[in-house]
Amino acid sequence: MKFFQTKYVTEFEGIPLNGVRRRAFNKLNQDIYSQKIKINQIKECFCGASNFLALSQLDRFGLPFGSQICQSCGLVTQKIRIDESSMKHFYENIYWPLIEGKEGNYFTFSKESHPDPFFSSQMNFEKKEITIFEVGCGAGNRILNLSSIFEKKGYVVEKCGCDYSINALKVAQNRKIKTVQGGMKDLANLGKADIVILSHVFEHFTDLKVAMAELEKLVHEKSFIYVEVPGINDLENKKEYKYNYQMYNVLAHTYNFSLQSLTNVMNYGGFELITGDEFVRTLFKLSKKDSFKSEFISAFSDTMISLEKANVKSEKYKRFRNSYFVNYLIKIIKAFLARDI
């Protein structure tokens, strides 16, 4: 797969920085330089292997948070990442303005409609009072959407969420969500949930083994865990990234998952897949098996094939966009010249 070692490492196509993003970009660099934010180099994969193949040197903002794929298990991870001790500072001061490009926006929205959001039809409870936790809740859109589905079925729902951003939590609180600042370890102080939502959160974790242990404390044997991440094998269908891996890669995503690589990690933590797709949307539960640790199925080949397909589509999309704008400009010029005549 020499293609990715040349093209993806040397070429850059990213998001232009407006004033808000530029300030966040500069603050991140300043805080790394002053060691307010600590950085770690990643030399070993979750599976224990260290035979990585480079995919990119930069993220979508031009920051030096490149990515690499494990040739043993197929999990994609960063080359360097922000240390866990610096995460609270990063999400409180840098993440939202850098990602959203505007101040005071803590709302996250699903990128596509789905006939059965959260696979809610597969979640059934004997009791009528249930508790839903959302990890990284932001303003609380997803927990409110899922709660609404169950409330229409006659359930009484207690809504609880955690996030590192105190400003985001203030918005969630005003929407009647019980909140705690921090991560899963802090959310565990509220007890156990019947449903745990980790939507576009799992890819942000720094230590997956610690995350598995913390997640287990949030659930009981009948709980459902909904995990959604921007599936890397689905990049050829993700127009929001222009089907382009460089646009897809971002410093906040410490890992990039396919359905199989996510399942490998969750299995390792003692969770069993109920259903899922390559979007990636998945539903898990605690497993009755003692351990899945010896059952890793490599996702490497499938992911590399998917990236090749996405790149072909990205190049076609780029040519189309370029030709469209060139033709549009020519028409404008002709119309202008005709008007002058």
- The pLDDT tens digits of the residues spanning 176-185 come to 999 999 999 9
d(CA 164, CA 277): 29
Amino acid letter, residue 206:
T
d(CA 271, CA 286): 5
- The pLDDT tens digits of the residues spanning 41-70 come to 999 999 999 999 999 999 999 999 999 999
d(CA 233, CA 250): 16
State residue 184's pLDDT score: 97
d(CA 20, CA 209): 35
* Mean pLDDT, rounded, for 139-147: 96
State residue 324's pLDDT score: 65
- The pLDDT tens digits of the residues spanning 259-289 come to 999 999 999 999 999 999 999 999 999 997 7
Higher pLDDT, 233 or 9: 233
State residue 2's pLDDT score: 36
Asked if pLDDT for residue 192 goes beyond 50, the answer is: yes
* Mean pLDDT, rounded, for 294-305: 92
Higher pLDDT, 291 or 203: 203
> Which tokens go with 330?
């020519």
The confidence band for 341, taking pLDDT boundaries of 50, 70 and 90, is very low
Residue with tokens 């508790």: 131
d(CA 263, CA 332): 52
The confidence band for 197, taking pLDDT boundaries of 50, 70 and 90, is very high
Q: For all residues of the chain together, what is the average pLDDT?
A: 90
d(CA 230, CA 212): 19
> Which tokens go with 326?
């060139």
d(CA 176, CA 144): 9
Higher pLDDT, 240 or 9: 240
What SS3 state is found at 12? coil
d(CA 277, CA 152): 26
Q: Which residues of 239-255 are buried (b: 16+ CB within 10 A; e: fewer)?
A: eebbbbbbbbbbbbbbb
The confidence band for 292, taking pLDDT boundaries of 50, 70 and 90, is low
The confidence band for 11, taking pLDDT boundaries of 50, 70 and 90, is low
- CA 299 vs CA 85, 257, 291: distances in Å: 30, 9, 20
d(CA 41, CA 151): 46
The confidence band for 229, taking pLDDT boundaries of 50, 70 and 90, is very high
- CA 31 vs CA 24, 27, 91, 167, 248: distances in Å: 10, 6, 13, 20, 24
Question: Which DSSP string do the residues of 278-308 spell out, in sequence order?
Answer: TTSEEEEEE-SSS--TT-----HHHHHHHHH
In the chain, the N- to C-terminal Cα span, in Å, equals 56
State residue 187's pLDDT score: 97
- The pLDDT tens digits of the residues spanning 206-226 come to 999 999 999 999 999 999 999
Instruction: Enumerate domains of the chain plus CATH numbers.
Output: 1-111+232-254+306-341 (no CATH), 117-231+255-286 (3.40.50.150)
* Mean pLDDT, rounded, for 20-48: 97
Higher pLDDT, 314 or 324: 314
* Mean pLDDT, rounded, for 221-240: 97
- The pLDDT tens digits of the residues spanning 87-137 come to 999 999 999 999 999 887 776 555 556 889 999 999 999 999 999 999 999
Please, are residues 174 and 163 in contact by the beta-carbon 8 Å criterion? no
Instruction: Give 97's Cβ-side CA count (13 Å radius).
Output: 19
Please, are residues 11 and 4 in contact by the beta-carbon 8 Å criterion? no
pTM metric for this prediction: 0.90
State residue 322's pLDDT score: 77
Residue 322 burial (10 A CB sphere; 0-12, 13-18, 19+) = exposed
Asked if pLDDT for residue 339 goes beyond 70, the answer is: no
